[in-house]
Amino acid sequence: MREIFSSIANTFIPIFVAVDVFSIIPIFLALTEGLEMEKRKKIQRESIITAFLAGLAFIALGETVFRVLGVTENDFKIAGGLLLLVLSVSDLLGSEEKEKHLESTGVVPLGVPLIVGPAVLTTVLVLVDHYGIWATLASFVLNLILVWLAFDTGNRLIKLLGKAGIKALSKIMCLLLASIAIMMIRIGVISLGKGNL
**Domain range annotation of the chain:** 2-196
Distance of CA 174 to the CA centre of its chain: 15
Q: From CA 56, how far away is CA 75, in angstroms rounded? A: 20
pLDDT at 9 over 80: yes
pLDDT at 39 over 60: yes
pLDDT at 144 over 90: yes
Q: Is the pTM of this model over 0.85?
A: no
Query: Average pLDDT, whole number, for the chain?
Result: 79
Task: Give long-range contacts, CB 8 A cutoff, 24+ apart: 155-161.
Answer: 155/37, 155/40, 155/41, 155/44, 157/25, 157/29, 158/29, 158/40
